[in-house]
Chains A and B, each alone.
Chain A
């Protein structure tokens, strides 16, 4: 079993839809969770950074963490064509070891 599982998609939605992206993980030591957005031929951009279980909102983005189920989600409201990208979840255990474990990424296309 891989440490982090993420459905690669592709996921195609109409503009304005609510998008739900998910990752599951097996290592209970993971304490910090991130979502990155990566456009084609660009470096990943940090969207959300969370530690606690629960929800964290930033504009149209909501990150959700359920440590008991080892499940994290990213919701995008009112999706726009500019949201079309690959979304990567990432996590690490903390302390002095900042090495991230990534999901494989989900390719999202928002159609106008």
Chain B
């Protein structure tokens, strides 16, 4: 159990467009979902934490208006990168947490902005 999916796995978009990434917990209800960003050969950088039905909590330095997070249900969270620019190109990973707190990660989405 504890499977998390992400869609799409890879996306290429043009500068100025918006991209939506979906994160789903497939076999459990997630009390909390997290969004991370990872640069090559670096560890995970937490962007925001979200709970179902409430506003996301963003980490310092993360632009709320650029990275929109919607946590519509206990199994679905979405991250929308608005007006994407080449510097937004990165590997975005979501995770979902059950009651015990351990986080289960999705496979990641590679975003390339041209």
Name the residue of chain A whose CB is nearest to the CB of B49. Answer: A99
Q: Give the A-binding residues of B (Cβ under 8 A).
A: 2, 4, 6, 32, 34, 42-44, 46, 49, 91, 93, 95, 97, 100-108, 110
Name the residue of chain A whose CB is nearest to the CB of B94. Answer: A43
- A105/B43 in contact, CB under 8 A: yes
Name the residue of chain B whose CB is nearest to the CB of A95. Answer: B101
- B102/A44 in contact, CB under 8 A: no
- A88/B102 in contact, CB under 8 A: no
Q: How far is the CB of A107 from chain B (nearest CB, A)?
A: 8
A40→B31 CA distance, assembly (Å): 28
A78→B102 CA distance, assembly (Å): 27
Name the residue of chain A whose CB is nearest to the CB of B108. Answer: A43
Q: With A102-B43, A102-B44 given, is the CB distance from A42 to B108 under 8 Å? A: yes
Q: Which of A18-41 contact B (CB under 8 A)?
A: 32, 34, 36, 41
A85→B110 CA distance, assembly (Å): 19
